Chains A and B, each alone.
Chain A
Amino acid sequence: MKIQIFVTLKNGVLDPQGKAIHHALESLDFSGVNDVRAGKLIELEVDEGTSDETLEKMCEKLLANTVIENYEIRKLPETVA
Chain B
Amino acid sequence: MKSAVIVFPGSNCDRDMAVALETVSGTKPIMVWHGDSNLPSDLDVIAIPGGFSYGDYLRCGAMASRTHIIPAILSAAKKGVAVLGVCNGFQVLTEIGLLPGALMRNSAMNFVCKDAKLKVSNDRSLFTRKYTAGETISIPVAHHDGNYYADENTLDQLEQNDQVAFRYDDDINGSARNIAGIVNEQGNILGMMPHPDRAIDTKHGGTDGRDLFEGLLERVSA
Contact = CB atoms under 8 A, between A and B. Distances in A.
A16 B58 contact: no
A4 interface: no
A17 to B, nearest CB: 6
B100 to A, nearest CB: 8
Interface residues of A, number: 12
Interface in A55-81: 61-63, 65, 67-68
Given A65-B102, A67-B101, A67-B102, A16 B62 contact: no
Interface in B74-114: 94-95, 100-102, 104-109
A16 B149 contact: no
- Determine the main DSSP class of B at the interface with A: loop
Interface of A: 12-14, 16-17, 20, 61-63, 65, 67-68
Interface residues of B, number: 20
Interface in B45-87: 58-59, 62, 66
B174 interface: yes
Interface of B: 58-59, 62, 66, 94-95, 100-102, 104-109, 147, 149-151, 174
Given A14-B174, A16-B109, A17-B109, A68 B104 contact: yes
B62 A62 contact: yes
B94 A14 contact: no
